[in-house]
Structure 1
């Protein structure tokens, strides 16, 4: 009864062999809620990519995360074998009856719909579905709707996207997505007529993923303002005035703190200056406890498969093939048809595409783990901008007599007030530990490394 642990490679080999064995017999053609041939190959595409990258990058990690018997750790010599299996499975899916979602000429709305739309959605392969009419529903929208437009008297903004994520979306001219809040010499703010202006000409996936200040949702502009900055002539400086009441007006009769914040300490309002859009239901009543939402949860969609193929092809030294896959994803987001070339495409750029395309779809933490860089990105160092969660707070300028500044908006980048501790991923976090009672019952269960 006491069975030894299988090797990590054996687990992935078993997954691959099982999927290959059943893919032509499983049926369910056209179903998005029951697995079919293409679901099998989507899972194989993902699993083999995980195996390949663990094989390659675990060997480069110092110290490597492995056990002498191979229960943890895959031989680096097998990396290319797994990359090829992932690429082959991806190609099977891409040759199937699916297409990237392109129904809406508004590219930001189109990307949002690619995830939530259930009407002839050609991109989605496999989902966990819900139905309000069948009383199979969930509270995700109730828990994450924008505070200023919530339909219930409780909850909202349980998840606040960070500035770190927002700035990972590039500008459409290919320049980095760092938002301009200060002049080049740092001597003054950059002043904007509208809060949306700072997000102009961005990768359309930003709009489809995140609700940023001034963006619309459910046909309503989402006003976001953390306070005002009033010019003090005596000190020749701005005095920041915030407040503890959402929707409060300033002495000039205009907004002081917007109904949707952001705010340093008020609960159930954005703490970072952003709200989620992806997976949030725009239907009436979806943010109430009574009606709730039936937006589905996407397990597999074609966007991921393109990126799996791009990564595997690049790792196999097939840059031309990799470029064709990643450019298809970027073109849908508003970039030119050939925004990457074989000369400009890098592995880091492919990894960044995964972050922006697949945000909030349960990939990021697993990607960082399989690339064996989670302990470096989230190293617990408060001086590491990747480890710290940042926020962006908009303020309205009050400076009568200065038409170039009065009534304009400025932005302040800051550490998210409720998330001040840097994220700290340690090397033993790559694998969970077994409780000692598990090992006591079966001594053949080998404990995971560093646990």
Structure 2
């Protein structure tokens, strides 16, 4: 791990040496700069170049997304609320309330430039390696597998945002290319990942910890096939008439089988398992649950998760950028598996007692112990108490009565000096089990699906699901994905692939709980933490391609509806 993260800095210098990204992300030829012996003369230098390509993962670390100040896509949904109403920290709120801001000139929700910049560099790497390097055939195949994983990762982001995009599998003589169909894009992703899975090692030596593995390739392959299958099942050209978007419904069973097979391949490797302690899956550099992670090391390679998301008493000028909603808090079950309900007198009287372990690992609530103190979220506390949304444009206090706990480092008591160094777990074993359960459910294999789902539940001491039908199983899977994967950046994309976002996220407001002392205890009042309705138009299932690319590429037409 240490060697990998340290080498990334050096590798970025090699990327700069290799040539800067052109104004149009789709163009660029290799040129003689890739014959430079300093880059291609041996495997060690090719390693350094490859390490530099890994820097792209930091764009998406900790469920963030490149809009505003790395606003989280979970804050578009019912599980997280951003506290700011200003552009920047609160851009995600502005977009949720006013989707009319999104247009082809300013897509807002886009990775186009970054993704194609990365893809061009990856293709240049592959081209240069084949033309100029002195590597063995075995070395070339392994580097190709690694590069094709990285290319597939970029295309995965493009596919779930735009659907139909341009496939660039090599450096073109002419940058003018038309969009491929969404089905072709998903199959291209699968081809890259299948190659990667065949040729990547199961594990790397300790000094190279953090590089993608066979398990990571099969894992992303299972995720990609699940997305493609979901589009095939749920889209049916209901929301966009562009001839290139969507996946034929006839493909859903085949694609669900591919997703199940890829997830089974990860399980079959026998090198991953669930952590006994759920919270430790996110703070441990050696977690047995981690399939692919981005690692950090103080002092030079750090991030700012704790600065932005800790309770505000932890860090001057920071904290509370995003906080859990009541909708998420209500989703966590009781420790014995009963559904939590405010209509139950005993639960309402003490709503934070007797809940399942993931609640305590994910949410800081009124009275919770944190860094040697009991957090007070009542309005009486000037530093960390509840404040109504929009009273202050950037309050740095909870507007729901809760703070995030999951992934934060409770041992970090000097955030401004230390920053943060906990890993970002891009893919973990629990997600693979949930993918396996969902794909098998869609294939009608309920008993096998329950086995994988119940492994996730039993890890936190919950009883197995009683679901016995495909419909009940899908409800159970959505619940598990909502709580198990909270704040990891999955919820928004799940609602999109299930084509439920226009139902769950449209013409709605989400909530918090205002806690007030009543002398002998506390009263809990549900509050509106939005103050205006959120909207998700169905056109958002396929976001526009940036207009500059349409202008620069006469062969490409804009996605219909934009």
Shorter-chain TM-score: which interval? 0.7 to 0.9
TM-score normalized with structure 1 length: 0.79
Among residues 89, 94, 101, which one is paired with 2:262 in the alignment? 89
Equivalent runs, 1:254-269 vs 2, <5 Å: 259-264=383-388, 265=391, 267-269=395-397
Q: Distance in 2 between matches of 1:153 and 1:441?
A: 46
Q: Which stretches in structure 2 are left out of the alignment for 5+ residues?
A: 1-173
Aligned to 2:247: 74
TM-score normalized with structure 2 length: 0.64
Aligned to 2:312: 147
Deviation at 1:125, TM superposition (A): 0.9
Aligned to 2:423: 296
Aligned to 1:29: 203
Q: Distance in 1 between matches of 2:375 and 2:517?
A: 15
Among residues 358, 369, 384, which one is paired with 2:496 in the alignment? 369
The 1:15/1:88 distance shift into structure 2, 3 A limit, reads: same
Q: Distance in 1 between matches of 2:475 and 2:209?
A: 32
Aligned to 1:340: 466
* 2:295 equivalent to 1:129: yes
Equivalent runs, 1:287-326 vs 2, <5 Å: 287-288=415-416, 290-326=417-453
Q: Distance in 2 between matches of 1:431 and 1:11?
A: 14
Aligned to 2:319: 156
Q: Distance in 2 between matches of 1:16 and 1:347?
A: 25
Q: Distance in 2 between matches of 1:199 and 1:309?
A: 32
Aligned to 1:107: none
Deviation at 1:136, TM superposition (A): 0.7
Q: Distance in 1 between matches of 2:482 and 2:495?
A: 10
Equivalent runs, 1:73-222 vs 2, <5 Å: 73-96=246-269, 97-102=271-276, 110-118=277-285, 120-133=286-299, 135-148=300-313, 150=314, 152-180=315-343, 192=349, 197-222=350-375
Q: Distance in 1 between matches of 2:308 and 2:295?
A: 19
Secondary structure of the 2:254 match is: helix
Q: Distance in 2 between matches of 1:284 and 1:437?
A: 44
Q: Which stretches in structure 1 are left out of the alignment for 5+ residues?
A: 103-109, 185-189, 228-245, 248-258, 381-386, 399-406
Aligned to 1:397: 518
Secondary structure of the 2:198 match is: coil
Among residues 466, 477, 482, which one is paired with 1:350 in the alignment? 477
- Which 4+ runs in 1 deviate beyond 6 A? none
Aligned to 1:224: 377
Q: Distance in 1 between matches of 2:533 and 2:484?
A: 24
Cα deviation, 1:161-220, whole Å, max 9, x if unaligned, reads 11111111122344332335x969xxxxx984xxxx312222221111111111222343
Asked whether the 8 Å contact 2:325–2:402 carries over to 1, the reply is yes
The 1:375/1:345 distance shift into structure 2, 3 A limit, reads: closer
Q: Distance in 2 between matches of 1:293 and 1:437?
A: 37
Q: Distance in 2 between matches of 1:32 and 1:373?
A: 38
Cα deviation, 1:55-110, whole Å, max 9, x if unaligned, reads 11001x6x332422xx21100000111111110010111122011001xxxxxxx2
Equivalent runs, 1:415-426 vs 2, <5 Å: 415-416=528-529, 419-426=530-537
Deviation at 1:421, TM superposition (A): 1.9
Aligned residues: 379
Asked whether the 8 Å contact 2:263–2:432 carries over to 1, the reply is yes
Q: Distance in 2 between matches of 1:433 and 1:191?
A: 45
Q: Distance in 1 between matches of 2:348 and 2:260?
A: 47
Secondary structure of the 1:440 match is: helix
Asked whether the 8 Å contact 2:229–2:251 carries over to 1, the reply is yes
